[in-house]
Amino acid sequence: MDELMRQRRVYGTDHDDPRPGPRPGHDYRELVGGPLDGLLLDVTGWGEADLRDGVGLVTEIGAYGPGGRAEYGPRSPDSHQWDWRGDVR
């Protein structure tokens, strides 16, 4: 894991977590664009279909506020970067 990756915060960690970054042995995707830009998403143990389709992540800072979701999906089939697709309710 390179130094830049270790400095990033993982989606879902608390802001006051003393270790908000990635952990050894886990698999991550970088979220690009949208309200969660720059965060890492832990996809350890996810199946092929989930990795192919992407995910809607709960966020309070998207277009719909609390309870809204930001949708992210793979840039290409083998990409570790997931692009923002938009906000949904």
Q: What angle do CA 9, 74, 42 make, to 5 degrees?
A: 30
pLDDT-based confidence at residue 5 (cuts at 50, 70, 90): low
44 or 5, which is more confident:
44
pLDDT at residue 6 greater than cutoff 90: no
Q: How many domains does the chain have?
A: 1
Q: Which domain holds residue 80?
A: 3-88
Give the predicted TM-score (pTM) of the model: 0.88
Which residues fall within 8 angstroms of residue 74, CB to CB, at 6 or more apart? Answer: 29, 51, 52, 54, 81, 82, 83
